[in-house]
Structure 1
């Protein structure tokens, strides 16, 4: 616990006192006896003014090796080899750049842990990390079972895992996305949308100014389109007025709960991008005819 306190001091005050180390047995015992306090120290480090210094202090103290081996594995991974950035240095920068919200900072620390297990080198020498977000989410599950520091806060645990799993989604955006695709993205991200956008901004660590500006503009544009579409949908419902009456008239359905169920299914199809919003009633009636089995008509 003294070693963890030392790491906190390095992160919060930048003091450069002699390294406080501890052995694996001590860190394991600390995690068993004082888990809430351990979590508190880790929170303070990643939320600190100099989180990078604090993370290096965790490494020097021996804490990462025992408590967060998934993070320790990133140290030196890619440092000058195989033409890809050092994952540990990148991760520390992402933590520092991330907005100081606890779920975003934890996701920043853990978002690339899956790269260790997914690196492949193509015959041409290109480096790939296919599926590292999905692998990282599964590694987070194992980490949580081994060191259940998020157990008292299931909502936080769920948010961190979600951000790890989806941390690449916003960077895949480009201006060619249709409004339906943007709506679908926003719906799938749900209440973690803002956290995802914040993590995506922090994940841009390129030293090339124009590339960085392009990445930030891309995420900004995505956020603005989501907001504009939300405002539009709040003002103008995606389905036309009177669509329920038209469903009853065309398909011979009497006023009933069934009409509401069909409207809901149609709204879900709009949200999924299967049919565009704000069209005339005949467009939606035709869609229902074409998918009669799905709508039960």
Structure 2
């Protein structure tokens, strides 16, 4: 539903009530409307004491909006109407305690409500009564036209009250394709260390939106240049210390940015690319050839990644898939520029993996390959490997490794435990050598091992 249509519905419902002339659309929905975009999250501000909660109940009773969820401490309520989330709040002033982003609120007038907001482009209002746009901070419409992210007040106040606004400002700049004006950008740099006072789940929520931004290179450069990356992902920021060598023409951080650039906005792949080399800092050794080496860095990176992904609230199943891809991202370094040296057995190992995991691994390796120094860049390796894999899948059409642990327990009489895993590993090894081997033949081999 477009904002003017919703305005007309609410206006009709509240006409001749205490809410008439007191209700305004606010924030992102007004911004998006002026940019020609639709919003499904609508903020309404009500210039009455407890007006947000009271309006939510009124819309529930008169328009059939859902039963309100009330946040009495902040004077806000949330309800659903025709698939749209409505958040209603009284016009208010806020006061913050040091190192605490939860404000103490009290009712105030419309001007003070606007001036408490974060950025000028988010401070615009639309009157529900007549549809007029109000720009009480006097810079919102111009900044929207100019493509500028600017704090409503002094950045020191805006970011000092709520450091999470640093990440929001960067996200708005990226999402809208806007520039952060210099004074606001300086404020972000000055307050980057204040993110230590923000709950990790709030940081995770914002960063998980950032990592799938279309322009991921600009995303990472804004985070790095502002000091935010070093604060929220010091393991990644530390990669700047990894110097270029004959295999990598960029330092470790720039290489990571390059790998990300070759990854589409898929969250698991972006996370794998971001963390695929984080273990290098701890694995660096000076070899007899007087060169720095990073032996086993993929395993160390996978272990570090597991901890980081937990910190950023990534689901355990997704984390497992990401870390497995990271742990294996070096596996094809020696199979040739066109995968001409890959063995049939190694190729068939991919068939045993879930298709989505194969795609994740190969996409990560391809992005990593493309980001190496020109003499060691292998742009054709993974496309050629994919072609070989496709041919082998057609050749083995209908033939799959279907033996399970339950089969072993049932047929061989073994107890559930480590032995089952060991026997399955032996069976898979035999299947990779001869995919047409029968289940009966596999069982005979396994019985001989008992």
Q: Is TM-score (shorter-chain normalized) higher than 0.5?
A: yes
Matched, 1:293 2:442: no
SS at match of 1:73: helix
Q: Does residue 220 of the first structure (1) align with residue 383 of the second (2)?
A: yes
Indicate the residue corresponding to 2:294 in structure 1.
129
Is 1:270 matched up with 2:435? Answer: no
CA distance in 2, matches of 1:87, 1:228: 36
Deviation at 1:92, TM superposition (A): 0.6
* Aligned mates of 1:286, 1:116 — CA distance in 2: 45
Deviations 1:64-110 (A, max 9, x none): 22211101111243168998630111111111111221100111111
Alignment of 1:250-265 (within 5 A): 258=411
Larger mean CA deviation between 43-52 and 92-101 belongs to: 43-52
Residue 179 of structure 2 corresponds to which residue in structure 1? 15
- TM-score by length of structure 1 reads 0.73
Question: What is the SS of the residue equivalent to 1:206?
Answer: coil
Matched residue, 1:2: 165
- 2:248/2:372 contact within 8 Å kept: no
1:31 and 2:170 are equivalent in the alignment: no
- Is contact 2:246–2:373 with CA below 8 Å preserved after alignment? no
What pairs with 1:115-126 in structure 2 (closer than 5 Å)?
A: 115-126=280-291
Maintained 8 Å contact 1:3/1:22: no
Q: Please, which of 235, 238, 242 is the counterpart of residue 77 of structure 1?
A: 242
Question: 1:176, 1:48 → 2: CA distance?
Answer: 37
The correspondence of residues 158-237 of structure 1 with structure 2, limited to 5 A, is 158-173=320-335, 174-188=339-353, 191-203=356-368, 204-206=370-372, 208=374, 211-212=376-377, 215-235=378-398
* Structure 1, unaligned runs of 5 or more: 240-256
The verdict on how the C-alpha distance between 1:70 and 1:81 changes in structure 2, with shifts beyond 3 A counting, is: farther
Per-residue deviation at 1:61? 2.7
Which whole-Å deviations, capped at 9, do the CAs of 1:3-30 have from their partners, x for residues lacking one?
1122224434151422123546621222
Instruction: Quote how far apart the aligned CAs of 1:286 are.
Output: 11
User: Does residue 157 in structure 1 map to residue 322 in structure 2?
Assistant: no
Shift in CA distance, 237/28, structure 1 to aligned 2, threshold 3 Å: closer
Aligned pairs for 1:279-290 within 5 A: none
Q: In the TM superposition, what whole-angstrom CA distance separates every residue of 1:224-266 from its partner, at most 9, and x where no partner exists? A: 2222222222245789xxxxxxxxxxxxxxxxx649x9xx898
SS in 2 for 1:234: coil
**Contact 1:14 1:50 (8 Å CA) reproduced:** no
Q: Contact 2:193–2:228 at 8 Å: present in 1 too?
A: no
Compute the displacement of 1:117 (Å): 1.0
- Is residue 103–residue 156 contact of structure 1 (8 Å, CA) maintained in 2? yes
Measure, in 1, the Cα distance between the counterparts of 2:426 and 2:371. Answer: 42
In 1, Cα distance between equivalents of 2:390 and 2:322: 23
Which one has a bigger Cα radius of gyration? 2
Other-structure match for 1:247: none
- Alignment equivalent of 2:262, drawn from 97, 102, 118: 97
- The SS at the match of 1:75 is helix
SS in 2 for 1:293: helix
- The size of the alignment, in residue pairs, is 261
Whose strand fraction is larger, Structure 1's or Structure 2's? Answer: 2
- Structure with more helix by fraction: 1
Describe the SS at the equivalent of 1:78: coil
SS in 1 for 2:198: helix
In structure 1, C-alpha distance between the alignment counterparts of 2:354 and 2:401, rounded to whole Å: 20
Q: Structure 2 unaligned segments of length 5 or more: list them.
A: 1-163, 403-409, 415-423
TM-score, structure 2 length as denominator? 0.50
Q: Contact 1:95–1:109 at 8 Å: present in 2 too?
A: yes
